[in-house]
Amino acid sequence: MSIDHQHTGADQALRQRADGLDAQDPLAHYRDHFIGTDTPLSYLDGNSLGRPLKRTADDIAAFIRDEWGGRLIRGWDEKWLGLPQAIGDQLGRAVLGAAPGQTIIADSTTVVLYKLIRAALAAVADPDRNELVLDTENFPTDRYLVEGIALEEGLTLRWIETDPAAGVTVEQVRAATGPRTAVVLLSQIAYRSGHLADLAGITKAVHDAGALVVWDLCHSAGSVEINLDGADVDFAAGCTYKYLNGGPGSPAFAYVNQRHLASLNQPIWGWMGRKDAFDMAAGYEPAPGIRGFLSGTPAIFGMLAMQGTLDLIEEASMAAIRTKSEMLTAFAVEVFDAWLAPLGARLASPRKPGERGSHITVDHPDFTKATVEDLWDGDVIPDFRAPHGIRVGLSPLSTSFGEVLQGMAAIRDRLQG
């Protein structure tokens, strides 16, 4: 058999496998809820910006017509003021493993993380604990924030050196923490490699050292099962425009463990976080509970889109979503082994599905930003991660196995020239 025939046979086998996986997928019908899934485009970047739901256009139109246009300013008293916590509670229930009253929608991820880190430092309130722990491969915002806070407060940074193709381990956290540790900031899923950290084990290690932990859940919320209450996490934040499909710039969420709320001291005092905000009274008295974590006027428009996804998640269950996530990335690795590894590509993600989130990264010396731009021009949309990585993000509710195969084929063809 010629090489061309061998390639054709292998391609056909992978196509049949993709078709079979799609046919057996119990979540396949959810794909029809999303705009654009009936087009030839292969979208492999849902972990950066999720597709919109078809119902979102109707939800926003109804909001403009009936609530904003119909109720006008009355909407604040009638419904809108309660939305940040109402949606936060649904997010906690459906995705985060958090009991009511601990999650709220507020600000951007950067601002929320700043509030949480400063609140955690205030909660420690021990001058001998003057170290902040973070890892070298965390998302830039996380690193920049901690560097800035350390400069503001005269604190010491302790860096965990992380393998870019892996992530932070419990053992590394135990080695980096001790009697001088105040706060540890980590991401549950490494934004580049997709490594899934042991959230419960690391949280325990941080607590054993007498410190507090802040988790960034941007790449995990909506793609893996999370149990913040069960792990006794102190603080967590995450964006809502990836697997939660909130839309470009939709506001982030903040989680604060119930045991910290009574003494919460967040640093950005705004009118919406004050007790009886509309009294416009002198002096700042924080609202009780998680509402005290608000600062400015809530971005109501930005919250509307994610409600549809949260409804779907509750219907499908995070357990089923996680199962499909593992199957999608496993299939992507299978295709990588068949098509890309022989061309000199390297898998820059954990090989075991249970050790990664819902994306993988493939490195090759020939991959550049221009490579991804060329793929985009051909309606195959992955993400580029410098210096030589293409990140393949797979959103379980909207991504099909056939879509994965189509996108990986385009990457192979680009490598072959």
- Residues 230, 371 within the same domain: no
- Residues 89, 37 within the same domain: no
Report if residue 59 sits inside a domain.
Answer: no
- Residues 125, 274 within the same domain: yes
- Residues 406, 306 within the same domain: no
- Residues 43, 117 within the same domain: no
Domain count of the fold of the chain: 2
- Residues 148, 201 within the same domain: yes
What pLDDT is attached to residue 6? 47
271 three-state secondary structure: helix
Report if residue 71 sits inside a domain.
Answer: no
Q: Return all residues near 246 (Cβ < 8 A) that are at least 6 apart.
A: 50, 239, 240, 302, 303, 305, 306, 309
What pLDDT is attached to residue 309? 97
- Residues 384, 338 within the same domain: yes
Residues taking part in catalysis = 139, 216, 241-242, 391
Rounded to 5 degrees, φ, ψ at 206 are -65, -45
Say how far apart CA 299 and CA 3 lie, in whole Å: 57
What pLDDT is attached to residue 7? 58
Question: Which residues span the domain enclosing 30?
Answer: 3-53+318-416
Question: Which of these, 317, 391, 350, lies nearest to 196 by C-alpha position?
Answer: 350
- Residue 307: CATH number of its domain: 3.40.640.10
- Residues 265, 165 within the same domain: yes
Predicted confidence (pLDDT) per residue in 203-244, tens digit? 999 999 999 999 999 999 999 999 999 999 999 999 999 999
Residue 174 has, within 13 A of its CA and on its CB side, a CA count of 8
Greatest alpha-carbon span in the chain: 84
Rounded to 5 degrees, φ, ψ at 47 are -85, 0
- Residues 182, 226 within the same domain: yes
Place of tokens 């009574």: 262
| Residue at which a domain ends, from 264, 282, 314 | 314
398, with CB counted inside 10 A (0-12, 13-18, 19+), is buried
Q: How open is the CA angle 359-360-363, to the nearest 5 degrees? A: 145
Length of the chain: 417
Number of Cβ within 10 Å of residue 316's Cβ equals 18
Report if residue 262 sits inside a domain.
Answer: yes
What pLDDT is attached to residue 122? 94
- Residue 398: CATH number of its domain: 3.90.1150.10
Predicted confidence (pLDDT) per residue in 153-198, tens digit? 999 999 999 988 889 999 999 999 999 999 999 999 999 999 999 9
Say how far apart CA 112 and CA 215 lie, in whole Å: 11
pLDDT < 50 regions, the chain: 1-6
| Residue at which a domain ends, from 314, 340, 360 | 314
Say how far apart CA 291 and CA 92 lie, in whole Å: 15
Say how far apart CA 375 and CA 371 lie, in whole Å: 6
- Residues 360, 388 within the same domain: yes
